[in-house]
Amino acid sequence: MENLVNIFVKSIFIDNMIFAYFLGMCSYLAVSKTVKTSTGLGLAVIFVLGFTLPIDYLLENYILKEGALTWLSPTLADVDLSFLSFIMFIAVIASMVQLVEMVVEKFSPSLYNSLGIFLPLIAVNCAILGGSLFMQEREYTSIVEATAFGLGSGVGWFLAIVGIAAIREKIRYSNVPAPLRGLGITFIITGLMGIAFMSFMGIKL
C-alpha cells in the first residue's frame, strides 16, 4: 500500500508529465485559455490514463514481452513481439478515447458539448502514449502499480493545465510586450512553473 502511495505521489509531483517530460504540451498550450475547459479536459485525461495503463500493462505482460505468450502454449516461450508495442498501444488508446467519447455522450450530454473537439484530441495527447511507454520502460511489477502510476500522471497533468489556465486568465489584464503576447509568455510561464515544481525533485520516496 505504501508503495502505491509513493508511485502515485511521485508521478504527480516529481515526474510530472508536463514539467519534467513535456508530454501533452500541444493540448496543454492550445486548450489552457479558460479554467473551465481545462478542468474538463484534465478530468478526461485522468480518466483515459487511468483506464489505458492497466490495459496496456496486460497487453505488455501477456502478449508483447519476450516469453509473455507462454500462458498460451510453452512452445511460444521465445516469441518476442515487443516491436509491435507502439502500434498496439496506440490502438488501445484510440479505442479507449472512442469509448470514453461514447459513454460521455450517452450519460452526460452537457459535459460532452462543453468538451467538444477536445475529447477526440486526447488520442493524440502524448501524455497518454508517453505514460504507456514509461510504464513499459520502468517495469512496474503489478497491474495495481500501473494503475496508480496512470492515475497519478493524470492528476499531475490536470494540476498543470488548471494552474496555467488560471494564470493565463489573470495575465490578460497585464501589459505583456507585444511579440511575447499569447504563445511566448505562456512558454516562459510554464518554464517558471517547471522551476517551481523542481523543488520536489530532491525528495526521495
Partner 1 sequence: MKEREPLFSTKNLNLLRDPLNDSNPITVQVLGICSALAVTVKLKPSVVLAISVVAVMAVSNVVISLLRKSIPPRIRIIVQLTVIATMVILVDEILQAFAYDVSKQLSVFVGLIITNCIIMGRLEAFALANKPWPAFLDGVGNAAGYGLILIIVAFFRELLGSGTIWDYPLFEKLGIFTTGYVNNGLMILPPMALITVGIIIWIQRARNRKLIEEK
Residues 6+ apart with CB under 8 A from 9: 152, 205
Q: Binding of partner 1 at residue 54 (CB under 8 A)? A: no
Q: Which is nearer to partner 1, 83 or 107 (CB)?
A: 83
Stretch that binds partner 1, among 51-59, 60-68, 90-98, 147-155 (CB under 8 A): 90-98
* Binding characters for partner 1, 8-47, by CB under 8 A (x = yes): -----------xxxxxxxx--xx-----------------
Q: Residue 131 is placed in which grid cell?
A: 505514460
CA dist 36 to 32, 49, 82, 151, Å? 9, 20, 40, 21
Binding positions for partner 1, 122-181, rule CB under 8 A: 123-126, 128-130, 133-134, 137, 172, 177-181
Instruction: Count CA atoms closer than 13 A to 35's CA, side-chain side.
Output: 6
Task: Please name the residue that has the C-alpha cell 521465445.
Answer: 78
Q: Binding of partner 1 at residue 190 (CB under 8 A)? A: yes
Judged by CB under 8 A, which of 90, 111, 144, 167 binds partner 1? 90
Closest CA to 127 of 105, 151, 145: 151
Q: Binding of partner 1 at residue 192 (CB under 8 A)? A: yes
Q: Which is nearer to partner 1, 61 or 190 (CB)?
A: 190
Cα–Cα distance for residue pair 56/74, rounded to 1 Å:
23
Cα–Cα distance for residue pair 64/56, rounded to 1 Å:
10
Q: Which is nearer to partner 1, 32 or 61 (CB)?
A: 32
